[in-house]
Amino acid sequence: MNVFFVMKDGSLVTPALTGTILEGVTRSSVIQVAKDMGREVSERKITLAEWRDGVASGEIAEVFACGTAAVITPIGVLKDKTEFIGSEDAKAGETTMAIREQLLGIQTGTVKDTHGWLTRLA
């Protein structure tokens, strides 16, 4: 799974590939779809403190995870014994859902595949 942060200005941030981040097809596809939608995407280190402070200040508007099985899944809360980031009643954000619908549309053939990602088998 990979994580994406939608900033209040509509841009996206995802952790850079440093050897501990999965360089996956879904991650690459999300980056491309977001760019196709006119979103700026940056790949850089993002700390837990930046996540916490960004959500608290509103600088981070949405958070979602992506992966092969999950496709795109909104993240409302991150918590463990010492941290609680987010809101229990958080709803999926507009940008998260727009990227999800576009990606699923390409996968199911209801949205034109302009990147040649799909191969007809039969």
Read off the CATH number of the domain in which 64 is found: 3.20.10.10
Is residue 114 one of the residues assigned to a domain?
A: no
Is residue 122 one of the residues assigned to a domain?
A: no
Q: State mean pLDDT over 111-122.
A: 91
Is residue 69 one of the residues assigned to a domain?
A: yes
Is residue 96 one of the residues assigned to a domain?
A: yes
The pair of three-digit structure tokens given for residue 48, joined into one six-digit string: 């837990």
Number of domains composing the chain: 1
Q: How do beta strands 71-74 and 60-67 pair?
A: antiparallel
Give pLDDT tens digits for 19-72: 777 788 999 999 999 999 999 999 999 998 999 899 999 999 999 999 888 889
Higher pLDDT, 102 or 86: 102
Q: In whole angstroms, give the CA distance from residue 3 to residue 16.
A: 11
Domain that residue 38 falls in: 2-108
pTM: 0.89
Q: In whole angstroms, give the CA distance from residue 49 to residue 47.
A: 5
H or E element that contains 13:
strand 12-14
Is residue 21 one of the residues assigned to a domain?
A: yes
Q: In whole angstroms, give the CA distance from residue 3 to residue 34.
A: 14
CA-wise closest residue to 24 among 64, 63, 66 = 66
Q: In whole angstroms, give the CA distance from residue 41 to residue 10.
A: 9
Is residue 102 one of the residues assigned to a domain?
A: yes
Is residue 20 one of the residues assigned to a domain?
A: yes
What is the average pLDDT score of the chain? 90
Identity (one letter) of the amino acid at 89?
A: D
The pair of three-digit structure tokens given for residue 26, joined into one six-digit string: 């879904």
Is residue 120 one of the residues assigned to a domain?
A: no
